[in-house]
Chains A and B, each alone.
Chain A
Amino acid sequence: GENVEQHPSTLSVQEGDSAVIKCTYSDSASNYFPWYKQELGKGPQLIIDIRSNVGEKKDQRIAVTLNKTAKHFSLHITETQPEDSAVYFCAALYTGTASKLTFGTGTRLQVTL
Chain B
Amino acid sequence: DTGVSQDPRHKITKRGQNVTFRCDPISEHNRLYWYRQTLGQGPEFLTYFQNEAQLEKSRLLSDRFSAERPKGSFSTLEIQRTEQGDSAMYLCASSPKRGQATDTQYFGPGTRLTVL
Contact-residue bracket for chain A: 20 to 34
Task: Give the number of chain B interface residues (Cβ < 8 Å).
Answer: 28
| Residue from the list A32, A44, A99 in contact with B43, Cβ < 8 A | A44
- Out of A4, A99, A104, name the residue touching B56 (CB < 8 Å): A99
Q: Roughly how many angstroms separate A46 CA and B31 CA in the complex, as a whole number?
A: 17
Measured in the bound complex, the distance between the Cα atoms of B29 and A20 in whole Å is 33
CB distance from A100 to the nearest CB of B (A): 4
B109 at the interface (CB under 8 A from A): yes
A36 to chain B, nearest CB (A): 7
With a 10 A CB-CB cut-off, give which of B42, B43, B104, B108 has the most chain A CB atoms: B42
Q: Are A34 and B48 in contact (CB under 8 A)?
A: no
In the complex with contacts A44-B43, A100-B45, A103-B44, A32-B103 CB distance below 8 A: yes
CA distance A49 to B101 in the complex (A): 11
- Say whether B105 faces chain A, with CB atoms less than 8 Å apart: yes
Given contacts A51-B100, A89-B42, A91-B42, contact A100 B48 (CB under 8 A): yes
Q: Is A65 on the interface with B (CB-CB < 8 A)?
A: no
Question: What's the minimum C-beta distance from B45 to chain A, rounded to whole angstroms?
Answer: 4
Q: Establish whether residues B56 and A98, one from each chain, have CB atoms under 8 Å apart when the complex forms.
A: yes
B109 touches A42 (CB 8 A): yes
Assembly CA distance A103 to B24 (angstroms): 23
- A34 and B105 contact, CB distance less than 8 A: yes
**Given A100-B56, A101-B43, A103-B44, A46-B103 contact (CB < 8 Å):** no
Distance of A45 Cα from B93 Cα, bound (Å): 10
Check A21 for interface membership: any CB of B closer than 8 A: no
- The 8 A CB mask of A20-57 against B (1 = contact, 0 = none) is 00000000000010101000011111100101000000
Question: Contact residues of A with B, CB < 8 Å?
Answer: 4, 6, 32, 34, 36, 41-46, 49, 51, 89, 91, 93, 95, 98-106
Taking A32-B103, A43-B107, A44-B91 as known contacts, 20 extra A-B pairs with beta carbons closer than 8 A to each other, sorted by chain A number, are A43-B91, A43-B109, A43-B110, A44-B107, A46-B106, A46-B107, A49-B103, A89-B42, A95-B102, A98-B56, A99-B95, A100-B33, A101-B33, A101-B35, A101-B43, A101-B45, A103-B42, A105-B41, A106-B40, A106-B41
